[in-house]
Amino acid sequence: MMSMKGKRVLVTAGASGIGRAIAEAFASAGARVFVCDIDEGALRQLQTQLPDVMTSVCDVADRGSVARMVAEGAAALGGLDVLVNNAGIAGPVASVADMDPDAWENVLRVNLTGTFTVTQHAIPHLKQSTAGSIVIMSSLAGRFGYPNRSPYATTKWGLVGFTKTLSRELGEFGIRVNAILPGAVEGPRLQQVFQGRASASGRSVAQEEAAALANQSIKRFVDPADIGALAVFLGSEAGRSISGQIVPIDGDSQSAS
């Protein structure tokens, strides 16, 4: 693992899942880490297990909550070197024709506008860093159409455009901006997806897993720790010449399904 000793890192939605793996990776590399999450219980558990990680409850869809959280995080860390925008929700499963407009807007509010709001508040702090970096979590759904998941896919494509634009705007300040696009990530959430598909299709969970792996060249699902390692690389000195890039980590998946 590359050294991040002394670096100051803010991770949104970092109390569980991919976000937690990212927070753990930065902490293991020597960074000082501040994690926000909407789940207060998960934050307490994280701090019990990783007492050096600082935490704050935050709903990224609430602008006031974000303003407070970023200010709190920057003060606790003594500045900010790396921002990892991980917060997002899956949203509903429905065709565009049947989509609930309120559900559509809720996904955009969290995934897209939430990322914008956190980033906007973090930029003044990142400009004070000698090696500022922003990592944005998009998705495999940010590269392909995703039937019946239009709000999720739309936001993940939008985050790619946001990444490209930010990299152009912030390059003059030495701030790098890159996006990570995970595919199917091993864990309870993926298993719930397969169980839901199995219930709908009448096939077994094992058959649904096999169908998903058939979409990939590498026949295993992504380990969250690998995403954490990639985030550390992009935020580290080793990634100092990398910006504006869209980095898939999906076993060479050929579609989003």
Does residue 152 carry a catalytic annotation?
Answer: yes
* Choice among 34, 152, 194, 221 that is catalytic: 152
In the 3-class helix/strand/coil scheme, how is the chain assigned residue by residue?
Answer: CCCCCCCEEEEECCCCHHHHHHHHHHHHCCCEEEEEECCHHHHHHHHHHCCCCEEEECCCCCHHHHHHHHHHHHHHHCCCCEEEECCCCCCCCECCCCCCHHHHHHHHHHHHHHHHHHHHHHHHHHCCCCCCEEEEECCHHHCCCCCCEHHHHHHHHHHHHHHHHHHHHHHHHCCEEEEEEECCECCHHHHHHHHHHHHHHCCCHHHHHHHHHCCECCCCCECHHHHHHHHHHHHCHHHCCCCCCEEEECCCECCCC
Catalytic residues: 152
